[in-house]
Amino acid sequence: MKFLVTGGAGFIGSNYMHYVVNKYPEDFFVCLDALTYAGNYNNIKDLEGKNNFKFVKGDITDRDFINKLFEEERFDMVINFAAESHVDNSIKNPGIFLTTNIIGTQVLMDASLKYKVGRYHQVSTDEVYGDLPLNRPDLLFNEDTPIHTSSPYSSSKAGADLLVGAYHRTFGLNTTISRCSNNYGPYQFPEKLIPVVISKALKNEKIPVYGNGANVRDWIHVIDHNIGVDLIVRNGKVGEVYNLGGHSERSNLEVVKTILKQMGKSEDLITFVEDRKGHDLRYAIDSSKVEKELHWDRTYTFEQGIKETVDWYLNHTDWIDDILSGNYKTAYKE
């Protein structure tokens, strides 16, 4: 089968590319990425020598380009990781989130219909469900939880999810959607919590923590997330939504302290800053549906995964330096 994987040079997408290109030598994977600020060609350039991999630079919102690509390649499967995903940026500039996350999704699905793609999969987020109270650990998001968004980012992802459902019902497009909790692991752009903590701690710089750091997230290792996506794409029921959670709830402050301890750094680096606007209190996912139907499970505990993740960044300080200096932007040209 031939797969199109959009956003394949980003954090989750590049980890997915490494996983599937090596696992399925009989399939062919086209990695599409616009290489915006969070897309990094260095994440996937070592796959270029593989016989079942090809990288294409392009924007999912460019309808003419997408149609030409679909006509040339005749994909069997489309997996859409491409998205603007940083909540703070969505608060500052909502427009680009609506364009990429909603219009880009529409363009991909229109092409999928036109060129008779067998399956379109949308990679979404638990943030479409809003948040849960801190004092109700019994409450979890399941696939029937109503959408109740807080930020322009989560609203744009929810809008895309609704559009995917509409294309399935109205046009008969074979679709699936996965909604995951907070990912961590290698290649995460240093604007998100864990790589920010690591990169600042390396320089003994102050580490900003929103509010009092009590906001809780459910953490899933990126490999476990991608194993779930692969199972859903290949075996999930058409028209269904599947939640992928880590069953590893931690407060932001707890995550920061765990990283500092592993790095041998002082907690004095922590500085509390003004809370984010509309900051969600707690995310927690019920993954029982995908566990029962597709026999998915996590392979990483948070303790094991965070240790490996911190070690990866400490062993790849050149990767961090390239991003902080901006040199990574020239990797594809070179």
* Cα(270)–Cα(24) distance, integer angstroms: 44
Report helix, strand or coil for 334.
Answer: coil
* Cα(85)–Cα(89) distance, integer angstroms: 8
| Nearest Cα to Cα of residue 129 among 248, 246, 282, 12 | 282
| pLDDT for 334 | 62
Beta bridge partners of 14: none
Q: Are 31 and 9 in contact (CB under 8 A)?
A: yes
| pLDDT for 88 | 83
| Residues annotated catalytic, as ranges | 126-127, 153
In Å, how far are 28, 77, 119, 219, 301 from 238, measured between CA atoms?
22, 13, 8, 27, 30
- Give every residue of the chain whose pLDDT is below 70, as ranges: 334
Report helix, strand or coil for 77.
Answer: strand
| Nearest Cα to Cα of residue 88 among 16, 224, 199, 196 | 196
Show the tokens assigned to 114. 């036109």
| pLDDT for 333 | 81
Single-letter code of the amino acid located at 5: V
| Nearest Cα to Cα of residue 113 among 161, 156, 163, 58 | 163
* Cα(204)–Cα(59) distance, integer angstroms: 38
* Residue 107 C-alpha from the chain's centroid: 20
pLDDT in tens, 41-69: 999 999 999 999 999 999 999 999 999 99
pLDDT in tens, 216-254: 999 999 999 999 999 999 999 999 999 999 999 999 999
Q: Are 16 and 5 in contact (CB under 8 A)?
A: yes
Phi, psi angles (nearest 5°) of residue 78: -125, 130
| pLDDT for 112 | 98
Helix%, strand%, coil% for the chain, nearest 5: 45, 20, 35
How big is the chain, counted in residues? 334
| pLDDT for 86 | 83
pTM over 0.85: yes
* Residue 287 C-alpha from the chain's centroid: 17
